[in-house]
Amino acid sequence: MTDTVTQLCTLLEPFNGNGTVISATTDISTDLNIDSVTVMDFVMEVEDHFDIEIPLNVLSETRTVADLAKVVEARTRKG
Amino acid sequence: MKSALKRTTDTDTTSGSVTPTSNRSLAQNLAGFSTLVEGLDYAARGVTGFNFFSARGQLQHVLPYAELRRQAISTARKLLSLGLKRGERVAVVAETGPEFMAVFFGCQYAGLIPCPMPYTMYIGGKDSYIDRVAGMLAAAKAQTVVTGEDLLGHITEGAARAGARRILTHAELQALPEAATKLEPFRAHEDAYIQYSSGSTSNPKGVLISQAAILSNTRGILQDGMRITPEDRAFSWLPLYHDMGLVGFCLSAAMGQVSVDFLATSSFARRPALWLKLMSDNKSTITYSPSFGYDLAARRINGDAVTLDLSRLRIAGIGGDMVRADVLEGFAAHMSVAGFRPQAFLPSYGMAETTLAISFVDPDAPIRVDSIDRLALKLEGRAVPAQGSNARSFVVCGRPMAGSTVEIRGERGETLGARAVGRIFVRTPSVMSGYYHNHEATAAVVGQDGFLDTGDMGYWLDGEIVITGRAKDLILHNGRNIWPQDIEWAAEQIEPLRSGDVAAFAVENDEGDDEVTVLVQCRLQDEASIESLRHEVSAVVHRSAGVECKVVMVPPKSLPFTSSGKLSRAAAKQKFLSGEIAELSVLPLIDGASRFEAAF
């Protein structure tokens, strides 16, 4: 696992209500049974943690932890 | 725990200050106009206007009404340079910002019908967003779409599917030359805009609103509903593609020369507490939200509540979902240290088909809760006062606005008196002109007598309306309407499910929240396949509707259908609750040996 994936898994853990094992392939919106409002809460945590902004169009194409890690890595490099 | 109000530096902020709250040299005129253009022309003579805050709470854009008018007129000429004909539809993605405002009001000056469209907010929501966009563009027969750079790819895909040929980013639109023609703004008897709020994703309906309807409704909101004064300042994070955000906090404000401070909906969703913080900073007097917004913000503010001053907030309106008394009490208790007064809560009732507002509670009166017997409500349709564990509380939603007539009718169409539950009908000058190019759907809700069937159930109490629920199958979730058809259609695409195998409806839990329940007719035998199907249905529903749901596997041929072959959700729900349709998952509990026997 890359460092970003590990950090994302840690950030995601408090939102993991049903005890699913979180990995790079976890589908954030569907595997954890969290609703759309709570997902935004997690997104805010990610943005604050990495000090980046993730636009909504990018978010709409993001499904797994690995997808999100790619987004984060692209944006932290830019910053 | 870190502060919910943490700020970091924004790159794109303005060093200016917000527009003033009051016009010193311009008398306030509360929507005494006959068109939106006349109203904006008047507001532009003053110094008030719109202000936009960033996701981290920094002031990003200041748009006084005078500047908005200048930009709208310029945008009108640019739109006309494309050769658009009067009354043509211009779809515009309603991101909260000056660009959307310029296009919406630009259309008013150009005689074009703007159609505000949503943006995508869900993680992994791209496909369902494109479906939605395509359906909306087709319903409005819109050939022209304006969008921000970010969503260009998504919009292009949706537009291609709907056959809309002209796609422009805001930058491309603003780079066009201004047509030298004389502007002919919409007149008092013409159309104003199309609002999408009704209809499923697969078959959306555009609500066509006239100049007369929007001016009548904004007048009612400003004069009767909120009793606006020059001291008022509004705050909104509501989406501008939704009637409450567009009419309540953009058009009404402009027609009453009220300054508004905006936070984008997506920014509110990330940092709900920012709403309260910015209202404190800007000395806001008016805001609005569905119940869930108050709940989110109060839970997220943590210890920072004490640093805020919400004592000037005189209207904390509630609309968009069932008004929840317990949630409001929780918010009031949490925010009392910030000087929040519970009398500020203002329940109201309305819908896109009546432009927005139908009824308001007296803004100076405290919230009134009516507690009635659950069984008498369910079985006899009567609202009998009761207390204790058999009682259910409803918030009273006020009197119809001046000029509107509300009737509550029984099953045979007779008008009902106090405390009898029936279907709510309304006749109002704010009623829609109809669903755009959809006479059949319009005729289904607007009768010969001019009364609109709201699809809501309720009863009268001392001349005020109390809403008890929906007559239609609509599911309400966090202020959003979710059409069960959308959920069913999405689930039925999964192998081996077929059309008619899925029924979706809401079941109210003990807290009064709607829980989405999806019954799936399952022909599979082994536990692993059933579990995998259950997971897949849940995932698909999440992606298409953005809600978590309870998936219940039921035996084949157990879902009830009407004589015309339509799925009866009401009957399915009733049979499920009564236990007549039982969950299939009891099967795997049988151990291997007896299951083997059962198979023979």
Instruction: Enumerate the residues of chain A whose CB falls inside 8 A of the CB of residue B548.
Output: 33-35
Using an 8 Å CB-CB cutoff, list chain A residues near B93: none
Residue B201 confidence (pLDDT): 64
**Which strand ranges, in their side-by-side order, compose the sheet holding B549-554?**
B502-508, B514-521, B549-554
B409 Cβ contact list (under 8 Å, min separation 6): B415, B416, B422, B423, B425
**Both structure tokens of A54:** 């993730």
Mark yes or no for CB contact B125/A60 under 8 Å: yes
Residues of chain A positioned with their CB less than 8 A from the CB of B154: 57, 60
Sequence-distant (6+) residues with CB within 8 A of B131 are B158, B201, B202
Kindly give the pairing relationship between strand B315-318 and strand B286-289. Answer: parallel
| Range with the poorest average pLDDT among A13-22, B203-212, B254-263 | A13-22
CA distance B68 to B46: 12
Subunit contact A29:B154, Cβ cutoff 8 A: no
Mean residue pLDDT of chain B comes to: 89
Distance from CA of A73 to the nearest CA of B (A): 18
Residue B420 — pLDDT band, cuts 50, 70, 90?
A: very high
Query: What's the CATH number where A22 sits?
Result: 1.10.1200.10
Element (H, E) at B146: strand B144-147
Mean pLDDT of B114-135: 87
Residues 6+ apart with CB under 8 A from B199: B139, B205, B435, B441, B483
If one compares B126 and B101, the residue with the highest pLDDT of the two is B101
Q: Could you tell me what percentage of chain A is helix, strand and coil, using 3-state DSSP and rounding each to the nearest 5?
A: 60, 5, 40
| Direct distance between the N- and C-terminal alpha carbons of chain A, in angstroms, rounded to an integer | 23
Q: What is the pLDDT of residues B345-392, one digit of tens each?
A: 999 999 999 999 999 999 989 999 999 998 888 778 899 999 988 888
**Chain B residues bordering chain A (beta-carbon distance below 8 Å):** 6, 8, 55, 119-126, 129, 150-151, 153-154, 266, 269-271, 292, 296, 478, 538-539, 542-543, 546-548
Looking at domain B36-264, its CATH superfamily turns out to be: ANL, N-terminal domain (3.40.50.12780)
The backbone torsions φ and ψ at residue B554, rounded to the nearest 5 degrees and listed phi first, read: -125, 160
pLDDT given at position B3? 44
Predicted confidence (pLDDT) at residue B562 exceeds the cutoff of 90: no
Find, in chain B, the residue whose alpha carbon is nearest to that of A68: B123
- The answer to whether domain B475-598 has CATH 3.30.300.30 is yes
List of chain A residues whose C-beta atoms are within 8 Å of the C-beta of residue B120: 56-57, 59-60
Query: In angstroms, what separates the C-alpha of A41 from chain B's closest C-alpha?
Result: 5
pLDDT in tens, B429-482: 999 999 999 999 899 899 999 999 998 889 999 999 999 877 667 787 776 777
Element (H, E) at B101: helix B98-110
pLDDT value, residue B586: 47
pLDDT at B315 over 70: yes
What is the rounded distance in angstroms from the CA atom of residue B9 to the CA atom of residue B274?
A: 15
Q: What pLDDT was estimated at residue B526?
A: 83
| Beta-carbon count within 10 A of A70 CB | 14
Does the structure show a pLDDT above 60 at B48?
yes
Q: Do A29 and B124 touch (CB under 8 A)?
A: yes
Distance of CA A65 to the CA centre of its chain: 5
Cα dihedral across residues B396, B398, B399, B404: positive or negative: negative
Closest CA to B240 of B52, B456, B36: B52
Q: Given this model, what pLDDT does residue B565 score? A: 63
Find, among B498, B503, B475, B493, the residue nearest to B566 by Cα.
B503
| Disruptive mutation site among B123, B302, B531 for chain A (greatest number of A CBs within 10 Å) | B123
Name the closest residue on chain A to residue B293, using Cα atoms: A37
A43/chain B closest Cα distance in angstroms: 7
Alpha-carbon span B428 to B404, nearest angstrom: 4
DSSP strands (E only) in B387-446: 391-395, 399-400, 405-409, 422-427, 434-435
Best to test chain B binding among A12, A34, A37, A53 (most B CBs inside 10 Å):
A37
Nearest-Cα distance to chain B for A45, in Å, is 9
Provide the strand spans (E) within B462-522.
464-470, 475-477, 480-482, 502-508, 514-521
* Residues on chain A touching B150 (C-beta within 8 angstroms): 55-57
Task: Report yes or no for ipTM above 0.85.
Answer: no
pLDDT at B15: 64
pLDDT digit string (tens) for B277-294? Answer: 999 999 999 999 988 889
Which residue of chain B is at minimal alpha-carbon distance from A34?
A: B548
Residue of A nearest to B550 (CA): A33
Q: Where are the alpha helices (DSSP H) in B148-264?
A: 152-162, 170-174, 211-220, 243, 252-255
pLDDT for B213-234, tens place per residue?
A: 999 999 999 999 999 999 999 9
Contact B556, B582 (CB under 8 A): no
Structure confidence by residue, pLDDT tens digits, B532-549: 899 999 988 888 777 888
Please report the DSSP string for B531-564 in residue order: HHHHHHHHHHHHHHH---EEEEEE-TT-S-B-TT
Question: Is beta strand B259-263 parallel, antiparallel or unpaired with respect to B49-53?
Answer: parallel
pLDDT at residue B416, rounded to an integer: 96
Q: Which of A31, A35, A40 sits opposite B547 (nearest CB)?
A: A35
CA distance A39 to chain B (A): 7
Counting beta carbons within 10 angstroms of the beta carbon of residue A63, is it exposed (0 to 12), middle (13 to 18) or buried (19 or more)?
buried
Distance CA(B238)–CA(A49), nearest Å, equals: 27
Of the candidates B332, B461, B344, B335, the one whose C-alpha atom is nearest the C-alpha of residue B393 is B461
In angstroms, what separates the C-alpha of B121 from chain A's closest C-alpha? 6
Q: φ and ψ at B558, to 5 degrees?
A: -95, -15
CB B120 within 8 A of CB B241: no
Test A37 with B123 for CB contact under 8 angstroms.
Answer: no
| For residue B385, cis peptide bond before it (omega within 30 degrees of 0) | no
Contacting B with CB below 8 Å, chain A residues are: 27-31, 33-37, 39-41, 43-44, 47-48, 51, 53, 55-57, 59-63
Q: Contacts of residue B6 in chain A, CB cutoff 8 Å?
A: 48
If one compares B125 and B75, the residue with the highest pLDDT of the two is B75
Q: Which of A37-41, A47-51, B522-526 has the highest mean pLDDT?
A: A47-51
Nearest by CB: A37 against B6, B478, B542 = B478
- The answer for residues whose C-beta is within 8 angstroms of residue B134's C-beta and 6 or more apart is B158, B159, B161, B162
Give the whole-angstrom CA distance, residue B73 versus residue B79: 10
The Cα B352–Cα B206 span in angstroms is 10
- Specify whether the CB–CB gap between B503 and B570 falls below 8 A: no
**Which of A15, A32, A57 should be substituted to probe chain B, the one whose Cβ sees the most B Cβ atoms within 10 Å?**
A57
Q: Is the pLDDT of residue B594 over 70?
A: no
Q: Which residues are CB-neighbours of B378 under 8 A, at least 6 positions away?
A: none
Helix (H) or strand (E) holding A77: helix A65-78
Nearest-CA distance from A47 to chain B in Å? 10
Whether residue B142 has pLDDT greater than 90: yes
pLDDT grade for B134, boundaries at 50, 70 and 90: very high
- The CATH number of domain B367-470 is 2.30.130.30: no
CB B461 within 8 A of CB B383: yes
Note the residue count of chain A. Answer: 79
**Percent with pLDDT over 70 in chain B:** 91
Statement: residue B5 has pLDDT above 70: no
Question: How far from B575 is each of B84, B469, B523, B569, B572, CA to CA, in Å?
Answer: 54, 19, 20, 10, 5
pLDDT of B563 reads 57
pLDDT at B2 over 80: no
Q: Is the CB of A30 less than 8 angstroms away from the CB of B126?
A: no
Cα(B566)–Cα(B573) distance, integer angstroms: 15
CA angle B583, B589, B592 (to 5 degrees): 135
